[in-house]
């Protein structure tokens, strides 16, 4: 990237009043707006011409880097060929093509893809699939869902019910009934500075046995977890933990859902976390990297046994009363096909795996810098946790965010954790830049 950080763009700020921004302090933002007006590869540019290294792939989604020419071309070509076709009782070729490409890289046995428009919709869809699956099999008392503390599954009522982040839940009433939560696995006393999967904590999966015993297995439909939790500040599962959940679910006839909205598409150095970690759930929710963030799209990947269970009523009858106007939208389908081609042609999942150790070493070199209380990583995911300022949680991480931003690097903070999930096209020199920028910020803030 030759563009200098000082390059001025010819861009006039619009009136900022009318837009109610999501997950944002609207009033503060509008006093000090940061607008992104352009992006390419590893970088994006603000309205006042600042060049920024994107260390979080937009929001864990632009895995192929920004504005990849092949993906841009595919979207353009699709927009002038077929703008929209309803997904109900009609179809269009691209979405079938995408389902085929997607199931080809999914874990063995995941032969079906149901398309939606976001991670939140994917989660709600998977929960509904689980309920309906049991009911079709004559097991309709299985209505309970088990999520996990600190889990993030989007913002639909299903997702916040099984999710475990209290500010996302507390304003919104009773949510779904019959939901329980596993304990989270974040523990610095035992696992600080783990490289890869932490060694301590497999026993935390056994709490599922207690929850199952409390409610009785016959009432439980599904367990949903993120293999690696992102939004609560990068929580990497202890060794053996996910397999233990799988075993307990199998023992009691409970479906296991992996929410891979951030873990899918190379983020863990493999197609999915399920393939990297060798644990196979029953349903997988995906979004984000599916189109490299270019056009909104999500999906639920289902095992053949689940799909087949639905295909048992009278022929011609609708088997699943669910779907969205924009399920399988042609632009998203075209973007998805091109994205999966780019991942394959450029070997980006393998690239992520090959850079994992470099990112790990770089981030762990921050151990001992001021305020750092943990560094953790897996695949192309990293996190540096800071000691909070007493009585002012999040303030220190926000200060670090501001310092990095002013110095040309976008990082993401959740609580007092700084998270990294760069595009998979990242170079070693970018990793060096990330580490040095965080190091400088830590001594400056
Ligand atoms: C694990 C997980 N599930 C679901 C979602 C929700 O996705 P969306 O924001 O596309 O609705 C997210 C978003 O970050 C996520 O990280």
- pLDDT for 206 beyond 70: yes
Please state the rounded mean pLDDT for residues 278-295: 98
Read off the pLDDT of residues 139-148 as tens digits, 9 standing for 90 and up: 999 999 999 9
pLDDT of residue 279: 98
Q: In Å, how far from its chain's centre is CA 421?
A: 10
- pLDDT for 105 beyond 70: yes
pLDDT of residue 202: 98
Decide whether any atom of ligand 1 lies within 6 Å of the 154 Cβ.
yes
75-81 long-range contacts, CB within 8 A, separation 24+? 75/294, 75/295, 75/331, 75/334, 75/335, 75/338, 77/334, 78/330, 78/331, 78/333, 78/334, 78/335, 79/331, 81/330
Dihedral angle of Cα 366, 370, 373, 378, to the nearest 10 degrees: -20
Ligand 1: nearest atom to the Cα of 119: 7
Give me ligand 1 centre to Cα 287, in Å: 8
Give me ligand 1 centre to Cα 153, in Å: 6
Decide whether any atom of ligand 1 lies within 6 Å of the 61 Cβ.
no
pLDDT of residue 10: 63
204-209 long-range contacts, CB within 8 A, separation 24+? 204/238, 204/241, 205/240, 205/241, 205/242, 205/244, 205/245, 205/248, 206/244, 206/248, 207/182, 207/183, 208/146, 208/182, 208/245, 208/248, 208/249, 209/248
- pLDDT for 322 beyond 70: yes
Dihedral angle of Cα 125, 129, 135, 140, to the nearest 10 degrees: -60
Please state the rounded mean pLDDT for residues 212-220: 98
Q: Mean of the per-residue pLDDT values for the chain?
A: 96
> Of residues 313 and 241, which shows the higher confidence score?
241
Mutate to test the pocket of ligand 1, among 63, 127, 147, 152 (most ligand atoms within 8 A of CB): 152
Percent of the chain having pLDDT more than 90? 97
Ligand 1: nearest atom to the Cα of 259: 1
Give me ligand 1 centre to Cα 390, in Å: 30
Residue 127 contacts residue 158 (beta carbons within 8 Å): yes
Dihedral angle of Cα 44, 263, 24, 168, to the nearest 10 degrees: 180
Ligand 1: nearest atom to the Cα of 285: 3
Percent of the chain having pLDDT more than 70? 98
Read off the pLDDT of residues 249-281 as tens digits, 9 standing for 90 and up: 999 999 999 999 999 999 999 999 999 999 999
Ligand 1: nearest atom to the Cα of 230: 16
Please state the rounded mean pLDDT for residues 208-226: 98
- pLDDT for 5 beyond 70: no
Give me ligand 1 centre to Cα 412, in Å: 15
Give me ligand 1 centre to Cα 264, in Å: 12
Decide whether any atom of ligand 1 lies within 6 Å of the 433 Cβ.
no
pLDDT of residue 3: 43
pLDDT of residue 294: 98
Read off the pLDDT of residues 36-85 as tens digits, 9 standing for 90 and up: 999 999 999 999 999 999 999 999 999 999 999 999 999 999 999 999 99
The strand pairing partners of 384, in sequence order, are 375, 418
Mutate to test the pocket of ligand 1, among 60, 115, 153, 228 (most ligand atoms within 8 A of CB): 153
Please state the rounded mean pLDDT for residues 142-168: 98
Residue 220 contacts residue 153 (beta carbons within 8 Å): no
Decide whether any atom of ligand 1 lies within 6 Å of the 258 Cβ.
no
Decide whether any atom of ligand 1 lies within 6 Å of the 291 Cβ.
no
pLDDT of residue 415: 95
Decide whether any atom of ligand 1 lies within 6 Å of the 287 Cβ.
yes
Give me ligand 1 centre to Cα 209, in Å: 27
Give me ligand 1 centre to Cα 229, in Å: 10
Q: How far is residue 271's CA from residue 350's CA, in Å, rounded to a whole number?
A: 9
The strand pairing partners of 222, in sequence order, are 145, 255
Q: Give kind and range of the element (H or E) at residue 406.
A: helix 395-406
Q: Could you tell me the pLDDT band of residue 8, with boundaries at 50, 70 and 90? A: low
Of 7-21, 116-130, 214-228, 283-297, minimum mean pLDDT range: 7-21
Decide whether any atom of ligand 1 lies within 6 Å of the 117 Cβ.
no
Ligand 1: nearest atom to the Cα of 226: 1
- pLDDT for 1 beyond 50: no
- pLDDT for 4 beyond 80: no
Ligand 1: nearest atom to the Cα of 287: 10
Q: How far is residue 138's CA from residue 225's CA, in Å, rounded to a whole number?
A: 25
Nearest CA owner, ligand 1 atom 7:
119
- pLDDT for 239 beyond 90: yes
- The radius of gyration of the chain's CA atoms, rounded to the nearest angstrom, is 22
Give me ligand 1 centre to Cα 152, in Å: 7
pLDDT of residue 12: 83
Ligand 1: nearest atom to the Cα of 296: 10
- pLDDT for 125 beyond 60: yes
pLDDT of residue 11: 76
Ligand 1: nearest atom to the Cα of 121: 11
């Amino acid at each position: 990237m030759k563009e200098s950080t000082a390059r001025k763009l010819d861009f006039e700020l619009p009136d900022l009043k009318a837009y109610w921004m999501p997950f944002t302090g609207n009033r503060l933002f509008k006093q000090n707006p940061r607008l992104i007006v352009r992006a390419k590869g590893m970088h994006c540019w603000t309205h006042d011409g600042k060049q920024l290294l994107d260390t979080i792939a937009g929001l864990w989604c632009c895995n192929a880097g920004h504005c990849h020419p092949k993906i841009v071309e595919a979207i353009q070509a699709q927009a002038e060929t077929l703008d929209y076709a309803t997904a109900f009782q009609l179809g269009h070729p691209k979405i079938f093509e995408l389902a085929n490409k997607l199931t080809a890289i999914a874990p063995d046995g995941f032969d079906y893809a149901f398309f939606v428009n976001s991670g939140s919709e994917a989660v709600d869809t998977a929960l509904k699939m689980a309920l309906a699956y049991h009911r079709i099999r004559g097991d309709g008392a299985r209505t309970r869902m088990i999520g996990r503390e600190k889990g993030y599954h989007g913002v639909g009522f299903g997702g916040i019910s099984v999710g475990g982040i209290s500010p996302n839940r507390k304003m919104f009433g009773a949510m779904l009934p019959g939901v329980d939560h596993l304990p989270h696995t974040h523990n610095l006393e035992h696992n600080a500075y783990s490289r890869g999967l932490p060694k301590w904590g497999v026993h935390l999966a056994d709490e599922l046995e207690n929850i199952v015993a409390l409610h009785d297995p016959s009432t439980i439909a599904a367990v949903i977890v993120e293999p690696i939790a992102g939004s609560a500040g990068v929580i990497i599962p202890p060794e053996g933990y996910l397999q233990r959940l799988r075993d307990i679910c199998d023992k009691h006839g409970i479906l296991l859902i992996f929410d891979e909205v951030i873990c899918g598409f190379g983020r863990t150095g493999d197609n999915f976390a399920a393939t990297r970690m060798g644990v196979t759930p029953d349903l997988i929710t995906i979004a984000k990297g599916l189109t490299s963030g270019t056009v909104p799209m999500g999906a639920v990947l289902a095992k053949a046994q689940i799909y087949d269970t639905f295909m048992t009523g009278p022929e011609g009858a609708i088997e699943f009363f669910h779907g969205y106007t924009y399920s399988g939208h042609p632009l998203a389908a075209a973007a998805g096909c091109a994205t999966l081609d780019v991942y394959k042609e450029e070997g980006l999942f393998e690239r992520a795996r090959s850079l994992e150790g470099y990112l790990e070493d770089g981030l762990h070199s921050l151990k001992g810098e001021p305020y750092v209380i943990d560094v953790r990583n897996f695949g192309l995911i990293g996190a540096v946790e800071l000691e909070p300022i007493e009585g002012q949680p999040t303030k220190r991480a926000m200060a670090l965010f501001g310092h990095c931003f002013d110095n040309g690097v976008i990082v993401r903070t959740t609580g007092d954790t700084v998270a990294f999930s760069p595009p998979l096209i990242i170079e070693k020199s970018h990793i060096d830049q990330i580490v040095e920028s965080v190091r400088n910020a830590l001594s400056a803030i």
